[in-house]
Every structure is written in C-alpha cells, then in structure tokens.
Amino acid sequence: MTDYRPIACDLHDVLEIACLHRALLQVELTDGRTFVARARTTLSTPGKEEFLLLDADDGEQRIRLDHLLAVTMLGADGLRGPRTVLAVSGPNEAERGL
C-alpha cells in the first residue's frame, strides 16, 4: 500500500495545462528543494501514484505530485507568472490556488 495523497483536481488541471504548453516552471518541493524545469507530462502508476515529468538541465525529473509544494510559471521574457501552491507547508502558508 502506498502513502500517496492525491492532489485536488483543480491543481492537477494547472499541471496538465503547464504540460500542454511545455511551460517553464520554478518547482518548489516539500523538502525545501527548488529548481527550474520544463513541464512535459503527468503519469499515473498502477499503484495510483501520480507524477509530473519535467525536463531539467540535469535530465528528466520525475516528481510525485504530493511532493510538490508549489509551481510558478516563468515567461520567456523572464517574468514570473502565477504561483500555484499545491501543498500547505505550515500554518503561515496562506497563498493558495492561482
């Protein structure tokens, strides 16, 4: 049995749209790591875990969706788009959604 916790459907939709546009994302993980990568696709395993596949400078990254804290879309002009919070990291994390 897996300890995977599915994310909300509306947040999953944000990731799907990012993949459709091959968006450049700043990715924040629940363990504190951050990196920039291009969204490629999402996938589900037979065990019902869901992953985001990203193309990063150091190769493919496969991130389990419940390990994502937030993603921020980055524009070609260097401007940051909306930050979407996918997991609440603590009591002070108030920003949510688009």
Would residue 81 count as lying in a domain?
yes
- The arithmetic mean of pLDDT across residues 35-39, rounded, is 96
The number of domains in the chain is: 1
Residue 79: φ, ψ to 5° = -80, 145
Whole-prediction pTM: 0.83
Domain extent, residue 60, equals: 9-85
Closest CA to 63 of 88, 29, 94: 29
Residue 19's CATH number: 2.30.30.100
Would residue 22 count as lying in a domain?
yes
Residues 47/32, Cβ–Cβ less than 8 Å: no
Residue 42 has pLDDT above 60, yes or no: yes
Phi-psi sector, 6: left (phi>0), alpha (psi -120 to 50), beta:
beta
Residues 35/27, Cβ–Cβ less than 8 Å: yes
